[in-house]
Structure 1
Amino acid sequence: MKFDKYHIASQIKRNLSDLGFKRPTDIQFKAIPSIMKGEDVLAIAQTGTGKTAAFAIPIIDKIHRTKKSKQSWGIKCIIMVPTRELAAQIGNVFNQLSKHTKAKAFAVYGGVEQDPQIKKLADGIDVLVATPGRMFDLISQGSITLKQVDTLVIDEADQMLDLGFIKDIIAVKKKLFQKHQTLFFSATINKEIKKLAFSQVKSSAIRIQISPEDPVSKNVSHFVIFIEMDDKRFFLRRFITDNSKARIIVFVRTRVRAERVSKALERGDIKSATIHGEKDQKDRTDVMDRFKSGEMNILIATDVSARGIDIADVNYVINYDLPEKSENYVHRVGRTGRGIKKGIAISFCSPEEKERLDAIQGFLNKKIEMIPISKKEHKDTIALTNETDNIQDLIMEQEEWEKKKRTKRKKKK
């Protein structure tokens, strides 16, 4: 069934066509009718399968059909998300799908000035996408009122509930009309989180689960390379050099690791940018804009951004460090192979990470194909990069020594 056969506003059909969407994905096909009927929904589907549009299309259509004019009468729908990047991403999807309609959407999140957000809210919006912290700040200040809200969406429900936002969700629900629709969407969910989610929806809620045996899109091919921890930087540099035109996201465990990997690449004349929770929001937004525009093709990220990057043409995801939580592997590799595009996920696994790899394979219900490395290839890779590394290390040590010397002089003065 094509979108042009759906009973949705012609303006939304036009927007979908302009974006190149002709047919619904599985999650959209199963979720849209139930949401349009006003039913509560708990939906689990792989990353990159169009979950955001699955709830955005019926929400925008409902607002457009029931609204008498373009003037907003108050927030009708709240979408709660765990991260700033995800809030911005979902806000963008809503704005694309609501063009030419009466629905107005806006995203609020921390790390940026409140005043512009307060002004936009005062102008009137229908759909609010928000991280809990900033949303409750604005509610307490009287900038947000929930009197008209009849739909609550919890996106990335597993992370929202795992991070302890359940109290925030309950607090919001208490402020809403008794009769409101609740939608939970996620790519992964365990039994405990699922139980929490079910406690917040009607007993008649529709349960939708797409490909439960394989939580990752079939468009993603998985590989693993067994490498010593200290050799990872050399193989990463070699891989990027061999795929110089590719768009690549490299995932690491911590912000410190992100900066170290970026500097290691820089020593090999490879430009990259980092994104993690310690950067202020302006820097994080700037990095994402540069990556999306193609100004820079290598992004080094921590798991804070694993769910907030929606770029259709990411060729490779490199797990430089294997994630501590198996479900985070799913969200990381879901940054490639989105929509109808194909993608490749490569994990660098050191001996001490073997246990994590086993857990990931168990979570995926399949073995990840190994890429063997010959002794000659290993020796050539190390030799190719080591010489440059040694020279650059000496330069950096000299610069660090001179910096410390200058600092001592200033202290004496």
Structure 2
Amino acid sequence: MDLFVINRYREGDDQDIVNQETKHLEKLKKDIEERKKLHASTNVSNLKSKVIKQSNEAEKDNNTKVTVPKAIEDDSLIQTSAVEVNLKPSDKDKITHEFKVLGGNDFEQKPKVQRILPYWLSHPYSVSRNLRNEAYPIAEQAWLHSTLRSTLASDGITHLFPVQAQVIPFILQEHELPQTLWPHDICVSAPTGSGKTLSFVIPIIQVLMKDVGHHIRAMVVLPVQELATQIFKIFKKYCQKTGVKVALLSGSIPLHQEQQQIVHYTESQGWISEVDIIVCTAGRLVEHIQNTEGFSLKHLKFLVIDEADRIMDHIQNDWLYHMDKHIKLENELMSGKVPNLNWDCLNKHKPPPHKLLFSATLSQDPEKLEQWGLFQPKLFSAATVTNFEDEDQIRKYTTPDELKENYVVCNAEHKPLLLYHFLLEQNWDKVLCFTNAAQSAHRLAILLNTWSKGKIKVAELSAALDRSKRDEVLKKFTQSEINVLIGTDALARGIDIPDCNYVISYDPPRNIKTYIHRVGRTGRAGRVGHAVIMLLPSQTNSFTQILKSGGKTELPAMNIDANVFNQLTESYDNAIQETKNVINSENNFKVEKSIELKRGFKSRKRKAQ
């Protein structure tokens, strides 16, 4: 405040005012100099003590005398002391600046947050992946019903796989408990082809055989029609001689025909169900809930979600919400109603459907699993967990021990040559080849048929074919009339293709789930399989990261002699030219057909006018 001085103007006092201002400025300068000296002396004393302390520590460590610089001993040399002594930048800043620096110059690394899973996810029931050496004879399973045992024997099944031997008895035991003790929901994560389907087919039929009624008591929800048809056929086979009836709701036939198959109106009981088990797709289920009179799920005892991760990522028409709303259980957790806690109330309230989730790539994300509303769930997993708290040590996905996996590094122009080498020169038969685009699959099928000149039969399997043609192609492949199937990843999900010996990934998969389902088409049910993936040199690192994300180790490389490519180059060039001619003729045919359709439409329009 000394800078702000108010001088009242008085006539004749001009000289006195000047003298007062001069004295005032001199006083201010003197105060400033004293303040600088005081601050400098404080910094020097701190600096001296610090240097002396460091020298003492150095003498103690090295047993040598350290000389303190003269600049530190003499206070008058404060201006040069910071230069002569090797100081840290932070110490220099303390000397040359009066202001206090808030915070530090270095950023501390934040501690890594450890992944803490719920106990049921981090401590699963372990399931063996060895399907050949660890089998359980059916004759020794006392809990298995005699009718189902005879059906298994007629189907040529004499042993149960590890996942079946653990999951089936668990489900049966849960349904032997009193009604007041609700069964634990279960999640099963096991490799493809390890027998997950029979793990829910057998216990559901055995439990429903005990009760007779006209209600829908079990429902299996699947993502696509092909899988629904496959599961329906298995249920129908094992329901023989049991009195249990099953129906398929997948959209393969009109809605009104499906309605006639599942519900029937009677004068005495009203609407009754004609079937006990329904196998359906998610979208078709919602259609029946909204449009089918008499369709009731109030007595539903089992709810199976197969390929649960795929349905989880693409919930069609919010089917789970519609189903829960339709069931209308008084003790439904989603309704928000809390019943009275007494014995009479517990006996009257029916338990919710026993939920069974199955997938080869089941998600371990608790947030995603929460949407299913599982009741005290249990996990059966073939993945080995070595450290429950370290996310990197949790193995998410596995493949059967009988599956041999390799990768081959080659240039893009050598990939057709390598594929031809496997099929013709190595005599690989019953091969599934995966590409990332339907157009690539089509071109590759034409190339191989043209190049082989009838030595092998190659067929294309894609969404462009209708269902009847796809079934016909799969049948011919099973009967060895077709040697190679080329398709996209739509073929990789859950479809059981018997006796597939080899899987070739012509294009690398986009993620770990796609890879697991691709290679899972071979090495099924204890049979030996071989999977090979073709990689460009620039794709090896990204594919290694994909494997690491699923907890799989790096695959062994397969070495190919360079002479193989040189020997096939000439015949390949001729085949490429013929393939181009075939594709051009196909394109011309499509253009001509499109023009004819347009002309026909215009002529019909003129006649109508």
Query: What TM-score does the superposition give when structure 1 sets the normalisation length?
Result: 0.89
Aligned to 2:277: 127
The worse-fitting range, judged by mean Cα deviation, of 130-139 and 399-408 is 399-408
Aligned to 1:45: 190
Instruction: Measure the CA separation in 2 of the matches of 1:288 and 1:102.
Output: 31
Instruction: Measure the CA separation in 2 of the matches of 1:49 and 1:92.
Output: 18
Alignment of structure 1 residues 61-210 onto 2, 5 Å: 61-67=206-212, 73-110=214-251, 112-122=253-263, 124-142=274-292, 144-165=295-316, 167-176=318-327, 177=329, 178=332, 179=351, 180-192=353-365, 194-210=366-382
Give % identity: 25
Deviation per CA, 1:366-397: give whole Å up to 9, x if none.
Answer: 11111112221222233342223324434654
1:241 counterpart = 2:241: no
1:27 counterpart = 2:163: yes
What SS does the corresponding residue of 2:407 show, helix, strand or coil? strand
Instruction: Measure the CA separation in 1 of the matches of 2:519 and 2:474.
Output: 17
Is residue 219–residue 303 contact of structure 2 (8 Å, CA) maintained in 1? Answer: yes
**What amino acid sits opposite 1:10 in the alignment?**
S
Deviation per CA, 1:263-306: give whole Å up to 9, x if none.
Answer: 22222244333333343333333333333343323222222221
Is residue 289–residue 323 contact of structure 2 (8 Å, CA) maintained in 1? Answer: no
Q: CA RMSD in A?
A: 2.8
Tell me: CA distance 1:259–1:29, structure 2 relative to 1, closer, same or farther (3 Å): same
Instruction: Measure the CA separation in 2 of the matches of 1:367 and 1:410.
Output: 54
In the TM superposition, residue 341 of structure 1 has moved relative to its aligned partner by: 0.5
Is residue 407–residue 535 contact of structure 2 (8 Å, CA) maintained in 1? Answer: yes
What SS does the corresponding residue of 2:493 show, helix, strand or coil? coil
Instruction: Measure the CA separation in 1 of the matches of 2:252 and 2:240.
Output: 27
**What amino acid sits opposite 1:376 in the alignment?**
N
**What amino acid sits opposite 2:400 in the alignment?**
S
In the TM superposition, residue 84 of structure 1 has moved relative to its aligned partner by: 1.6
In the TM superposition, residue 51 of structure 1 has moved relative to its aligned partner by: 0.4
Is residue 402–residue 523 contact of structure 2 (8 Å, CA) maintained in 1? Answer: yes
**What amino acid sits opposite 2:420 in the alignment?**
R
**What amino acid sits opposite 1:223 in the alignment?**
N
What SS does the corresponding residue of 1:158 show, helix, strand or coil? helix
Deviation per CA, 1:325-353: give whole Å up to 9, x if none.
Answer: 21111111111011110000011112343
What SS does the corresponding residue of 2:383 show, helix, strand or coil? coil
Instruction: Measure the CA separation in 1 of the matches of 2:432 and 2:211.
Output: 42
The worse-fitting range, judged by mean Cα deviation, of 17-26 and 150-159 is 17-26
In the TM superposition, residue 10 of structure 1 has moved relative to its aligned partner by: 1.1
Is residue 496–residue 521 contact of structure 2 (8 Å, CA) maintained in 1? Answer: yes
Is residue 225–residue 346 contact of structure 1 (8 Å, CA) maintained in 2? Answer: yes
In the TM superposition, residue 250 of structure 1 has moved relative to its aligned partner by: 1.0
Instruction: Measure the CA separation in 1 of the matches of 2:428 and 2:376.
Output: 50
**What amino acid sits opposite 2:360 in the alignment?**
A
Aligned to 1:324: 510
Aligned to 1:57: 202
**What amino acid sits opposite 2:425 in the alignment?**
D
In the TM superposition, residue 21 of structure 1 has moved relative to its aligned partner by: 2.2
Instruction: Measure the CA separation in 1 of the matches of 2:401 and 2:575.
Output: 39
What SS does the corresponding residue of 1:53 show, helix, strand or coil? helix
Deviation per CA, 1:92-118: give whole Å up to 9, x if none.
Answer: 221222222122223322355445433
Is residue 112–residue 282 contact of structure 1 (8 Å, CA) maintained in 2? Answer: no
The worse-fitting range, judged by mean Cα deviation, of 201-210 and 391-400 is 391-400
Instruction: Measure the CA separation in 1 of the matches of 2:308 and 2:287.
Output: 21
2:559 to 345, 349, 372: 372
**What amino acid sits opposite 2:302 in the alignment?**
T
Deviation per CA, 1:159-200: give whole Å up to 9, x if none.
Answer: 1101235932233233234422111111112333x5322442
1:250 to 398, 412, 433: 433
**What amino acid sits opposite 2:474 in the alignment?**
M
Instruction: Measure the CA separation in 2 of the matches of 1:112 and 1:259.
Output: 29
In the TM superposition, residue 412 of structure 1 has moved relative to its aligned partner by: 9.6
What SS does the corresponding residue of 1:250 show, helix, strand or coil? strand
**What amino acid sits opposite 2:357 in the alignment?**
F
Deviation per CA, 1:245-270: give whole Å up to 9, x if none.
Answer: 61111111122222222222222244
What SS does the corresponding residue of 1:21 show, helix, strand or coil? coil
**What amino acid sits opposite 2:440 in the alignment?**
R
Aligned to 2:535: 349
Aligned to 2:473: 287
Tell me: CA distance 1:52–1:408, structure 2 relative to 1, closer, same or farther (3 Å): closer
**What amino acid sits opposite 1:88 in the alignment?**
T
Higher Cα Rg: structure 1 or 2? 2
Aligned to 1:382: 569
Tell me: CA distance 1:162–1:390, structure 2 relative to 1, closer, same or farther (3 Å): same
Aligned to 1:16: 152
Tell me: CA distance 1:157–1:395, structure 2 relative to 1, closer, same or farther (3 Å): closer
**What amino acid sits opposite 1:288 in the alignment?**
L
What SS does the corresponding residue of 2:160 show, helix, strand or coil? coil
**What amino acid sits opposite 1:155 in the alignment?**
D
**What amino acid sits opposite 2:514 in the alignment?**
N
Aligned to 2:110: none
The worse-fitting range, judged by mean Cα deviation, of 340-349 and 357-366 is 357-366
Aligned to 2:82: none
In the TM superposition, residue 223 of structure 1 has moved relative to its aligned partner by: 0.9
In the TM superposition, residue 364 of structure 1 has moved relative to its aligned partner by: 4.5
Tell me: CA distance 1:231–1:15, structure 2 relative to 1, closer, same or farther (3 Å): same
The alignment covers a number of residue pairs equal to: 408
What SS does the corresponding residue of 2:244 show, helix, strand or coil? coil
Which protein, 1 or 2, shows the higher relative CO under an 8 Å CA cutoff with sep ≥ 6? 1
Instruction: Measure the CA separation in 2 of the matches of 1:408 and 1:82.
Output: 38
1:361 counterpart = 2:534: no
Instruction: Measure the CA separation in 1 of the matches of 2:307 and 2:322.
Output: 18
Unaligned 5+ segments in structure 1 are none
Instruction: Measure the CA separation in 2 of the matches of 1:366 and 1:407.
Output: 51
1:306 counterpart = 2:492: yes
Is residue 462–residue 488 contact of structure 2 (8 Å, CA) maintained in 1? Answer: yes
Aligned to 1:211: 383
Instruction: Measure the CA separation in 1 of the matches of 2:375 and 2:563.
Output: 61
Alignment of structure 1 residues 2-13 onto 2, 5 Å: 2-4=137-139, 5-13=141-149
2:409 to 226, 234, 239: 226
The worse-fitting range, judged by mean Cα deviation, of 101-110 and 335-344 is 101-110
Instruction: Measure the CA separation in 1 of the matches of 2:502 and 2:486.
Output: 12
Instruction: Measure the CA separation in 2 of the matches of 1:45 and 1:169.
Output: 24
Tell me: CA distance 1:395–1:262, structure 2 relative to 1, closer, same or farther (3 Å): closer
Instruction: Measure the CA separation in 2 of the matches of 1:43 and 1:403.
Output: 47
Is residue 447–residue 579 contact of structure 2 (8 Å, CA) maintained in 1? Answer: no
